[in-house]
């Protein structure tokens, strides 16, 4: 009898962890009575969670037992159109059989690369997110996907400097005396770090937010530096100019730990601060204050996550910020340096023992940000004729939404979606398979905002006929007669495989030790500083600096002049609602803001020029599409910039389109995120 079966007739508390795409990865505990989860709360003795869950997760059990939850396999009714969400229930046996037959037919006609797996971070659990699905699609030989929608560009920029970009422990911000929150809205998207920042401020730290928008965090900081969108590299160069001019460079650190400092400082010396002020919108006095404060008020740290990566030159922005603390030698002190994602610590120790498989020639690889192009390209050979989606809602989250929807609507595309709710993507599926929630399956949870590894034990049996992603792929592997290592491994075996490491950071950590409290801190030494402790993994073991230049993105107000004349306003798509940040809760009324609809934030100057008043319905448009919503005339955005929230589902607007109907799908380089924030639009009164 399993632990879950025992709990069917008992009262118990089961520890687990949140799975959302969030740096906090909160530890939680579920109270179960008679087989039903009746309470969910944060674990009080977890150092980072400290007993508090966020507003969206506080109501997670409502999702588990939501009356509209998908609980049985669904098949699109013959003759109905994709997007209508007209389905009939079928059995699991029928679903698996049909998928196997359709995939076999597609592969026999076009080869295995005709199959496109599409997944992202609907769960960040290592088991349910990707281990088994990766083994499955490798055994098949399907097209591979660069899952670069978020995070990878930031990684690449820091990696240009550090090699493997291990940053400082976020909890070490407690020791900082200057904290630059650069392009990150900590109070909304990383809320459990805020007590650490406040504790540092109580001991004298100055907290500065660098952000184009006056966010909730900016309003709580000691100072807000409101730069023009996309001008981050120019601002860093201006700061380096002042640091060099005023003799604040740590020459000894540069000589001992870096290469390329002469080239970098030569670029900084050529900077004209008046021109930098024009480019960035930040006056010279503020640039000088920011540079002097960072170099002199120590320890000093830059906290950055992924907010500024979604641009054509996003990698260069993250590279610039990774170089800044090297020039001042900020890494010398605990609480100084670059504070970014901690996921690389976990990636260094948690490795699937089943290697990636290649059948003959390396398989085709596509970037998930280019989904609209991939699905609608008539010249793609072989074409994508089958798509399996899990942990993702591409109809909502992927740029160039109109092309994505056109692709999903293809009659010749067989689409399977594993889901808990009827998302915008599920509406276009041929088959929808009921997926378990986090309280119904086993998983191992890393984090990208702290150093704690968590075990998520299933608290209840799956509701209805829901199955974990892993079990679906195991069944499909059998039905397709796939051969490959690890395809029959159960979830606990996968957890044990991931933990079977001789890395010192995982010393003594196994399934049994995780079972004691549900979480454990990686054995990373206290105060670990990658550059000072020999963890720089560039070829020569030194931080790589070098030439740095500010370049505006093509689709920005300082880019293509002809495009700017037609579409003069920059658009940022923001995560700004505390009860849903990504699309996970965008279709749940209880999680939406009180107004129940998205708004376009526009500055009074821009609104006045267009005759737009607060609350008026406006049309936001460019060559990719248009969206209608009401305007909020506010000064938290600067002139020339408009913002709208990310993640709302199609039913939130009259035209059934969200922010991604407008966003830029182009890539800054061959790999990395789409240029979401390098998007130009025009705004007019609806009906004009």
Q: Over the stretch 419-474, which tens digit does the pLDDT of each residue have? A: 999 999 999 999 999 999 999 999 999 999 999 999 999 999 999 999 999 999 99
83 and 130 belong to one structural domain: yes
DSSP per-residue letters across 640-677: TEEEEES---GGGSTTS--GGGT----BSSSSS-B-TT
Q: Examine residue 349 and state whether it is found in any structural domain, yes or no.
A: no
In angstroms, the CA 293 to CA 209 distance is: 13
Q: For residue 670, what are the contacts with CB-CB under 8 A and spacing of at least 6?
A: none
pLDDT value of position 7 = 54
pLDDT value of position 100 = 98
How many residues would you count in the chain? Answer: 688
User: Looking at 115-124, 473-482, 607-616, which range is the least confident one?
Assistant: 115-124
In angstroms, the CA 310 to CA 151 distance is: 9
In angstroms, the CA 372 to CA 395 distance is: 10
- pTM as predicted: 0.95
195 and 329 belong to one structural domain: yes
Query: What CATH number corresponds to the domain at position 594?
Result: 2.40.40.20
Q: Cβ atoms within 10 A of the Cβ of 549, count?
A: 12
98 and 174 belong to one structural domain: no
In angstroms, the CA 183 to CA 193 distance is: 15
Q: Examine residue 119 and state whether it is found in any structural domain, yes or no.
A: yes
Q: Cβ atoms within 10 A of the Cβ of 100, count?
A: 18
pLDDT value of position 499 = 97
Q: Which tokens belong to 369?
A: 């940000």
For residue 310, give Cα distances in angstroms to 124, 551, 600.
20, 15, 19
Q: How confident is the model at residue 579 (pLDDT cuts 50, 70, 90)?
A: low
Taking only Cα atoms into account, the Rg of the chain, rounded to an integer number of angstroms, comes to 25
- What are residue 60's DSSP bridge partners? none
**Average pLDDT, integer, range 561-572:** 96
In angstroms, the CA 164 to CA 271 distance is: 30
3-state secondary structure of 493: helix
3-state secondary structure of 605: helix
165 and 311 belong to one structural domain: yes
Question: What are the pLDDT digits (tens) for 34-51?
Answer: 999 999 999 999 999 999
Domains contained in the chain, number: 3
Per the CB < 8 A criterion, the answer to whether 436 and 466 are in contact is: yes
**Average pLDDT, integer, range 265-270:** 98
Q: Examine residue 13 and state whether it is found in any structural domain, yes or no.
A: no
- What are residue 443's DSSP bridge partners? 456
3-state secondary structure of 415: strand
Question: What are the pLDDT digits (tens) for 633-676?
Answer: 999 999 999 999 988 888 888 888 999 999 999 886 668 888 99
303 and 433 belong to one structural domain: no
Locate all alpha helices (DSSP H) within 127-213, ordered by sequence: 132-140, 152-162, 186-189, 194-202
In angstroms, the CA 372 to CA 377 distance is: 8
**Average pLDDT, integer, range 205-223:** 97
420 and 284 belong to one structural domain: no
In angstroms, the CA 530 to CA 541 distance is: 11
**Average pLDDT, integer, range 573-582:** 71
Q: Which tokens belong to 395?
A: 């109809």
Q: What percent of the chain has pLDDT over 70?
A: 97
In the 8-state DSSP scheme, what is residue 555?
Answer: T
Q: Examine residue 481 and state whether it is found in any structural domain, yes or no.
A: yes
3-state secondary structure of 262: helix
Q: Examine residue 324 and state whether it is found in any structural domain, yes or no.
A: yes
Q: Examine residue 217 and state whether it is found in any structural domain, yes or no.
A: yes
Query: What CATH number corresponds to the domain at position 158?
Result: 3.40.228.10
Q: Which tokens belong to 318?
A: 């993250």
487 and 365 belong to one structural domain: yes
Q: How confident is the model at residue 567 (pLDDT cuts 50, 70, 90)?
A: very high
173 and 225 belong to one structural domain: yes
| 688 class by beta-carbon count within 10 Å (0-12 exposed, 13-18 middle, 19+ buried) | exposed
pLDDT value of position 577 = 66
In the 8-state DSSP scheme, what is residue 542?
Answer: S
128 and 276 belong to one structural domain: no
Q: How confident is the model at residue 546 (pLDDT cuts 50, 70, 90)?
A: very high
Task: Annotate 203-237 with three-state secondary structure.
Answer: CCCEEEEECCCCCHHHHHCCEEECCCCCCHHHHHH
Query: Quick check: bond before 299 cis, omega within 30?
Result: yes
Q: What is the mean pLDDT of the chain?
A: 94
157 and 145 belong to one structural domain: no
Q: Examine residue 361 and state whether it is found in any structural domain, yes or no.
A: yes
Torsion angles phi and psi, residue 297, rounded to 5: -95, 95
For the chain, what percentages of helix, strand and coil (3-state, to nearest 5) are there? Answer: 35, 20, 45
pLDDT > 80? residue 321: yes
145 and 160 belong to one structural domain: no
114 and 164 belong to one structural domain: no
Q: Examine residue 480 and state whether it is found in any structural domain, yes or no.
A: yes
Domain that holds residue 230: 153-340+540-544
pLDDT > 60? residue 6: no
Query: What CATH number corresponds to the domain at position 80?
Result: 3.40.50.740
Q: How confident is the model at residue 66 (pLDDT cuts 50, 70, 90)?
A: very high
In angstroms, the CA 124 to CA 286 distance is: 39
Question: What are the pLDDT digits (tens) for 138-193?
Answer: 999 999 998 888 889 999 999 999 999 999 999 999 999 999 999 999 999 999 99
pLDDT value of position 655 = 86
């Amino acid at each position: 009898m399993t632990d879950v079966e025992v709990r069917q007739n008992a009262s118990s508390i089961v520890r687990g962890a949140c799975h959302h795409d969030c740096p906090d990865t909160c530890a939680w505990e579920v109270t179960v009575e008679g087989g039903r989860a009746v309470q969910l709360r944060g674990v009080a003795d977890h150092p980072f969670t400290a007993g508090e869950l966020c507003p969206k997760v506080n109501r997670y059990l409502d999702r588990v037992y939501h009356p509209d939850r998908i609980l049985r396999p669904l098949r699109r009714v013959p003759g109905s159109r994709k997007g209508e969400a007209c389905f009939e229930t079928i059995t699991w046996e029928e679903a698996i059989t049909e998928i196997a037959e359709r995939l076999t037919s597609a592969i026999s006609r076009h080869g295995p690369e005709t199959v496109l797996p599409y997944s992202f971070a609907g769960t960040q659990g290592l088991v349910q997110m990707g281990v088994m699905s990766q083994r499955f699609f490798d055994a098949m030989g399907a097209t591979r996907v660069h899952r670069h929608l978020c995070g990878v560009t930031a990684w690449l920029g820091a990696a240009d400097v550090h090699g493997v970009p291990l940053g400082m422990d976020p909890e070490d911000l407690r020791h900082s005396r200057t904290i630059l929150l650069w392009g990150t809205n900590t109070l909304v998207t990383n809320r459990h770090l805020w007590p650490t920042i406040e504790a540092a401020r109580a001991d004298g730290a100055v907290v500065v937010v660098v952000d184009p928008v006056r966010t909730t965090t900016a309003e709580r900081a000691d100072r807000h530096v409101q730069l023009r969108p996309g001008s981050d590299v120019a601002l860093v160069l201006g700061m380096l100019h002042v640091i060099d001019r005023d003799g604040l460079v740590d020459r000894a650190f540069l000589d001992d730990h870096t290469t390329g400092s002469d080239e970098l400082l030569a670029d900084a010396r050529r900077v004209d601060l008046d021109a930098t002020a024009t480019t960035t919108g930040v006056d010279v006095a503020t640039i000088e204050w920011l540079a002097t404060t960072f170099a002199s008020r120590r320890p000093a740290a830059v906290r950055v996550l992924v907010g500024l990566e979604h641009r054509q030159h996003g990698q260069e922005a993250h590279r610039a910020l990774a170089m800044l603390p090297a020039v001042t030698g900020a890494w010398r002190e605990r609480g100084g340096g670059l504070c970014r994602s901690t996921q690389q610590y976990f990636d260094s120790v948690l490795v699937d023992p089943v290697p990636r498989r290649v059948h003959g020639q390396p398989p085709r690889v596509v970037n998930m940000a280019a989904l609209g192009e991939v699905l609608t390209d008539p010249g793609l050979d072989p074409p994508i004729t089958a798509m399996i989606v899990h942990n993702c809602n591409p109809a909502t989250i992927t740029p160039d939404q109109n092309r994505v929807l056109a692709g999903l609507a293809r009659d010749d595309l067989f689409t399977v979606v594993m889901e808990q709710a009827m998302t915008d993507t599920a509406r276009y599926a041929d088959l929808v398979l009921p997926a378990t929630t986090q309280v119904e399956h086993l998983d191992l949870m890393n984090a990208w905002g702290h150093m704690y590894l968590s075990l998520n034990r299933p608290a209840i049996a799956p509701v209805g006929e829901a199955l974990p992603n892993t079990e679906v792929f195991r069944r499909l592997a059998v039905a397709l007669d796939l051969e490959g290592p690890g395809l029959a491994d159960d979830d606990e075996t996968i957890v044990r495989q991931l933990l079977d490491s001789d890395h010192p950071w995982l010393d003594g950590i196994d399934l049994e030790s995780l079972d004691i409290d549900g979480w454990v801190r990686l054995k990373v030494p206290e105060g670990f500083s990658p550059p000072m402790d020999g963890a720089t993994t560039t070829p020569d073991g030194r931080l790589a600096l070098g030439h740095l230049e500010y370049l505006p993105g093509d689709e920005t107000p300082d880019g293509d002049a002809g495009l700017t004349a037609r579409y003069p306003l920059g658009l940022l798509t923001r995560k700004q609602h505390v009860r849903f940040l990504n699309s996970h809760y965008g279709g749940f009324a209880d999680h939406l803001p009180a107004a129940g609809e998205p708004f376009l934030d526009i500055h009074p100057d821009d609104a006045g020029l267009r005759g737009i008043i607060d609350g008026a319905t406006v049309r936001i448009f460019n060559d990719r599409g248009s969206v209608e919503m009401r305007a909020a005339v506010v000064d938290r955005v600067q002139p020339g910039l408009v913002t709208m929230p990310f993640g709302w589902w199609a039913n939130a607007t009259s035209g059934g389109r969200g922010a991604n109907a407008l966003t830029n799908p182009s890539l800054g380089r061959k790999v990395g995120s789409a240029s979401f924030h390098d998007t130009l639009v025009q705004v007019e009164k609806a009906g004009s």
